[in-house]
């Protein structure tokens, strides 16, 4: 065949060496090499096309172990391409371990590749999936509920709507930061994260929440869940007890269970977590997880007296308090509340914040503010687990805060959420009258409607199921309890819905929940 001739189907010849390895071939047999085709309209370079097809032929078993390939010159002639193109493909397959070459005897398919070929064959035959047995912990973690956030759907909870987020500005900041990136961002070795961001967070919290700490005590995490996980791993032993608000953020149990710690449900009342009840149930607990600025999910603010009581207990019990301040930026009116951390004279409070609610959760940036006595140990431990949170967004977020965009944005969404909460409550009054009792401070991205009047005592999970079947997402209040629920109701998220959607959602709800 003439060089340069473009043959569609090249049936080439190959020599099988039987009864020995390279150089030991005694019985030689000519066999057909299945089709190798070059497609010149495909933008894939010719050497890559040859390489890919030969690899497929070897993996499928069409080219068997110990087959000898024709010479590169023969292959090039047959395919109508240059010898260099074929050599490139063959060298790549030699480097990947599919072929072996000897200067005296030629190029051979490496064997045995049978196992790999069999595995591929098995996969293609779609065998029944073998059940996977995870560790006991793995089974528990894998049971965890999956995110059910449905932006734009009434009344899904989760991240806020980003319709007003200044993505243009954010992308300009990304470009400006990464065009000539700060070297401390490129070569970061600090497990606590990017220092300028830690400074910006410390300044922001000092101004808005009255917190007292140095930027060096801010420890960047990939969101609150990771902060919680680190706190559990580094401060708790197997069998230790932890106070958790009831109802509360029950996802915290996954971090506790990971270290074998036990969650003690401590009821909340109108002033927040009942310290008296906590002392009665587990006075010697090692940690209390609380949401003092906006109790999750009942929405009340922890009273000053209760805060002092909690701090007293922690000092006496030599326990830690984890202050989960998940959405305090979005208080709808009035000044943001001082943090519990601001009252802590004994270095017992670990403050935990996140940008998931104020900006968006896929950013995966949160932080812990650690008492100075914990900082160094946390840094070392974090470095050994997962050195630090990605530095791609940290310098951009720093500029976003420093240039005042964060504060402006927060002001804007606070007004928006205040209006949205009003419209959900107004629609609920119209459709449900006094069957819902709204709880909590005007803050955050959800409102909790406790069943009262004609709905008192009705099972909320059944209501949530019916609502979901009708296309409305509501979280049943009972699912936030570890023990038997003392109230039934619905958590109504309004982060990503406008007034029209919320009225339509409420109409659907009222048609599926009978009073
Ligand atoms: C009370 C509370 N704490 C913490 C988190 C976790 O936030 P992050 O996205 O930062 O892990 C959430 C998320 O919904 C939450 O509701």
Q: What is the per-residue pLDDT across 441-453, written as a single tens digit (0 to 9) for each? A: 888 999 999 999 9
SS3 (DSSP) at 58: helix
Nearest residue (CA) to ligand 1, atom 14: 158
Residue 118 has pLDDT above 80, yes or no: no
Q: Is 446 in the pocket of ligand 1 (CB under 6 A)?
A: no
Out of 147, 225, 475, mutate this one to test ligand 1's pocket (max ligand atoms within 8 Å of CB): namely 225
Q: In the chain, what is the straight-line distance between the N-terminal and C-terminal CA atoms, in Å?
A: 86
Distance 501 CA to ligand 1 centre (A): 25
The span from the CA of 224 to the CA of 324, in Å, is 8
244 in Cβ contact with 263 (< 8 Å): yes
Taking residues 395-410, what's their average pLDDT? 97
Q: Is 348 in the pocket of ligand 1 (CB under 6 A)?
A: no
**362-398 tens-digit pLDDT:** 999 999 999 999 999 999 999 999 999 999 999 999 9
The span from the CA of 359 to the CA of 159, in Å, is 8
Q: Is 389 in the pocket of ligand 1 (CB under 6 A)?
A: no
Nearest residue (CA) to ligand 1, atom 3: 326
Q: Hey, what's the torsion of the CAs at 7, 88, 66, 21, to 10 degrees? A: 140
**Residue 8 confidence class, pLDDT cut points 50, 70, 90:** very low
Q: Which of 412, 470, 417, 409 is nearest to 447 (CA)?
A: 417
Residue 433 has pLDDT above 90, yes or no: yes
Q: From the CA of 223, give the closest atom in ligand 1.
A: 10
Q: Is 223 in the pocket of ligand 1 (CB under 6 A)?
A: yes
Confidence at residue 25, expressed as pLDDT on a 0 to 100 scale: 40
Taking residues 73-81, what's their average pLDDT? 88
Residue 21 has pLDDT above 70, yes or no: no
Distance 449 CA to ligand 1 centre (A): 20
The span from the CA of 40 to the CA of 23, in Å, is 36
Out of 356, 440, 491, mutate this one to test ligand 1's pocket (max ligand atoms within 8 Å of CB): namely 356
The proportion of the chain whose per-residue pLDDT surpasses 70, expressed as a percent, equals 89
Confidence at residue 15, expressed as pLDDT on a 0 to 100 scale: 42
Residue 223 has pLDDT above 50, yes or no: yes
Distance 385 CA to ligand 1 centre (A): 21
Q: Is 225 in the pocket of ligand 1 (CB under 6 A)?
A: yes
Confidence at residue 279, expressed as pLDDT on a 0 to 100 scale: 98
Residue 24 has pLDDT above 60, yes or no: no
Out of 231, 298, 326, 496, mutate this one to test ligand 1's pocket (max ligand atoms within 8 Å of CB): namely 326
Q: From the CA of 324, give the closest atom in ligand 1.
A: 3
* Cross-strand pairs, 448: 439, 491
Distance 225 CA to ligand 1 centre (A): 6
Residue 20 has pLDDT above 50, yes or no: no
CB atoms within 10 A of CB 264: 17
Confidence at residue 192, expressed as pLDDT on a 0 to 100 scale: 98
Distance 224 CA to ligand 1 centre (A): 6
**pTM assigned to the model:** 0.81
Confidence at residue 106, expressed as pLDDT on a 0 to 100 scale: 87
Distance 259 CA to ligand 1 centre (A): 20
Out of 156, 224, 250, 367, mutate this one to test ligand 1's pocket (max ligand atoms within 8 Å of CB): namely 224
The span from the CA of 304 to the CA of 343, in Å, is 10
Q: Is 291 in the pocket of ligand 1 (CB under 6 A)?
A: yes
Query: Taking all residues of the chain, what is their mean pLDDT, rounded to a whole number?
Result: 89
Q: Is 248 in the pocket of ligand 1 (CB under 6 A)?
A: no
Distance 41 CA to ligand 1 centre (A): 52
Distance 357 CA to ligand 1 centre (A): 8
Q: From the CA of 226, give the closest atom in ligand 1.
A: 11
**Residue 32 confidence class, pLDDT cut points 50, 70, 90:** very low
Most confidently predicted of 60-69, 223-232, 322-331: 223-232
Sheet holding 446-451, edge to edge: 436-439, 446-451, 489-493, 475-476
CB atoms within 10 A of CB 7: 16
Nearest residue (CA) to ligand 1, atom 7: 224
Residue with tokens 């010719």: 46
More confident residue, 375 or 143: 375
431 in Cβ contact with 507 (< 8 Å): yes
Q: Quote helix, strand, coil % in the chain, to nearest 5.
A: 45, 15, 40
Q: Helix (H) and strand (E) counts for the chain? A: 17, 17
Distance 304 CA to ligand 1 centre (A): 24
Q: Which of 188, 193, 253 is nearest to 375 (CA)?
A: 193
Taking residues 216-231, what's their average pLDDT? 97
**Residue 58 confidence class, pLDDT cut points 50, 70, 90:** confident
Q: Is 324 in the pocket of ligand 1 (CB under 6 A)?
A: yes
Q: From the CA of 227, give the closest atom in ligand 1.
A: 11
DSSP string, 178-213: HHS--HHHHT---TT--HHHHHHHHHHHHHHH----
At 242, list the tokens: 């932890």
Q: Is 249 in the pocket of ligand 1 (CB under 6 A)?
A: yes
More confident residue, 493 or 36: 493
**Residue 280 confidence class, pLDDT cut points 50, 70, 90:** very high
The span from the CA of 34 to the CA of 14, in Å, is 10
More confident residue, 154 or 330: 154
Distance 308 CA to ligand 1 centre (A): 25
Confidence at residue 31, expressed as pLDDT on a 0 to 100 scale: 44
More confident residue, 286 or 12: 286
Minimum mean pLDDT among 22-36, 55-69, 262-276: which range? 22-36
Distance 410 CA to ligand 1 centre (A): 18
Q: From the CA of 221, give the closest atom in ligand 1.
A: 10
Residue 318 has pLDDT above 80, yes or no: yes
């Amino acid at each position: 065949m003439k060089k340069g001739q473009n043959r569609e189907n090249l049936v080439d010849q190959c020599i099988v060496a039987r009864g020995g390895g390279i150089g030991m071939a005694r019985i030689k047999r000519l066999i057909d090499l299945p089709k190798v085709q070059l497609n010149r309209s495909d933008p894939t370079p010719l050497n890559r096309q040859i390489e890919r097809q030969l690899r497929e032929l070897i993996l499928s078993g069409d080219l068997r172990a110990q087959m000898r390939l024709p010479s590169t010159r023969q292959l090039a002639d047959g395919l109508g391409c240059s010898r260099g193109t074929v050599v490139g493909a063959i060298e790549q397959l030699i480097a990947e371990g599919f072929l072996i070459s000897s200067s005296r005897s030629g190029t051979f398919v490496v064997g045995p590749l049978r196992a790999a070929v069999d595995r591929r064959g098995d996969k293609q035959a779609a065998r029944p999936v073998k059940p996977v047995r995870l560790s006991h912990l793995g089974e528990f973690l894998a049971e965890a509920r999956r995110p059910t956030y449905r932006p734009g759907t009434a009344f899904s909870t989760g991240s806020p709507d980003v319709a007003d987020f200044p993505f243009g500005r954010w992308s300009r900041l990304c470009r400006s930061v990464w065009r000539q990136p700060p070297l401390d961002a490129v070569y970061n070795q600090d497990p606590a994260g990017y220092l300028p961001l830690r400074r910006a967070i410390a300044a922001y919290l000092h101004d808005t929440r009255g917190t007292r700490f140095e930027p060096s005590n801010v420890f960047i995490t990939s969101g609150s869940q990771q902060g919680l996980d680190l706190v559990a791993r580094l401060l708790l032993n197997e069998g230790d007890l932890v106070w958790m608000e009831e109802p509360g953020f029950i996802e915290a149990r996954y971090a506790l269970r990971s270290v074998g710690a036990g969650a003690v449900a401590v009821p909340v009342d109108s002033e927040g977590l009942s310290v008296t009840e906590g002392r009665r149930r587990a006075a010697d607990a090692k940690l209390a997880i609380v949401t003092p600025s906006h109790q999750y999910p009942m929405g009340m603010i922890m009273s000053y007296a209760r805060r002092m009581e909690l701090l007293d207990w922690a000092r006496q019990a030599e326990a830690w308090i984890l202050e989960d301040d998940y959405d305090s930026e979005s208080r709808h009116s009035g000044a943001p509340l001082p943090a519990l951390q601001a009252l802590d004279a004994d270095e017992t409070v670990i403050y935990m914040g996140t940008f998931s609610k104020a900006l968006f959760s896929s950013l995966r940036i949160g932080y812990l503010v650690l008492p100075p006595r914990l900082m160094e140990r946390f840094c070392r431990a974090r470095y050994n687990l997962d050195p630090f949170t990605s530095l791609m967004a940290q310098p951009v977020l720093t500029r976003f805060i420093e240039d005042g965009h964060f504060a402006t944005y927060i002001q804007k969404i606070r007004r928006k959420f205040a209006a949205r909460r009003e419209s959900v409550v107004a629609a609920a009054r119209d459709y449900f009258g006094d069957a819902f009792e709204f709880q909590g401070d005007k803050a955050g991205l959800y409102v909790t409607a406790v069943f009262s009047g004609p709905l008192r005592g009705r099972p909320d999970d059944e209501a949530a199921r019916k609502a979901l079947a009708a296309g409305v997402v509501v979280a049943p209040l009972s699912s936030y309890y570890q023990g038997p629920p003392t109230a039934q109701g619905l958590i109504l998220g309004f982060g990503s819905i406008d007034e029209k959607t919320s009225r339509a959602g409420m109409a659907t709800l009222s048609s599926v929940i009978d009073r």
